[in-house]
Amino acid sequence: MKRTLTLLVAVVGVASLFALGLVPSVPPAPAAGSNLNGGEGCSNASLEGRYALWSDGTNVPSGTPVRGVGFATFDGEGNLSVTNTVNNNGTIVEDQTFEATYAVNQDCTGRIETASAHWAMVLIDEGEQVVLLRIDPGRVATVFYKKQSSGHEKKQGQNEE
């Protein structure tokens, strides 16, 4: 019974992430010789502005979960700042912040580096979404970024009528 309930909670949780648009859809494979943006190419400038993020990982070797949500700001020149809340196997860390650098290749792949972590990334829809995979030995983690609309800043602080 406990196993069935755990499976049901996991399925509902994943379905909720898809319904909320926090998990990006997978685009069709690009044609031979093109990149993920249909041949236009990507650069550091493809990532600029505020992105919502959702991270998912597992502590190795214990197998305990690590999850996070927050916001990242890319400057379009290779610098990024992140503020997030992390749940590390039940221990909550709020307002965790860090700085990173990034480099985007013309084929819309790239890397993000912090002082202690290295990530491979793929840009989707000209940088509207970004998927990261941690590439440090002994680490298992993915991060999904989704660009916030340019009207987001205008809407913040306004009262709804």
The CATH number linked to 92 is 2.40.128
Structure tokens at 148: 């916030």
pTM higher than 0.85: no
Instruction: Compute the distance between CA of residue 115 and CA of residue 152 in angstroms, rounded to an integer.
Output: 30
Which stretches of the chain score pLDDT less than 50?
A: 2, 4-20, 24-37, 153-155, 160-161
What does the pLDDT read at residue 150? 72
**What is the pLDDT, as a whole number, of residue 81?**
98
Does residue 8 lie within any of the structural domains? no
What is the pLDDT, as a whole number, of residue 21?
52
Domain count across the chain: 1
pLDDT at 35: 45
pLDDT for res 15: 45
Query: Would you say 37 and 126 are in contact if contact means Cβ atoms under 8 Å apart?
Result: yes
Q: Note whether residue 32 is domain-resident.
A: no
Q: Specify if 4 maps to a domain.
A: no
pLDDT on residue 41: 92
Is 18 exposed, middle or buried, given 0-12, 13-18 or 19+ CB atoms closer than 10 A? exposed
**Strands, DSSP E only, in the chain?**
48-58, 65-75, 79-88, 91-104, 109-113, 118-124, 129-134, 140-147
* 141 φ/ψ angles, rounded to the nearest 5 degrees: -165, 145
Is residue 100 a part of any domain in this protein?
yes
DSSP, collapsed to helix, strand or coil, labels residue 96 as strand
**116 located within any domain:** yes
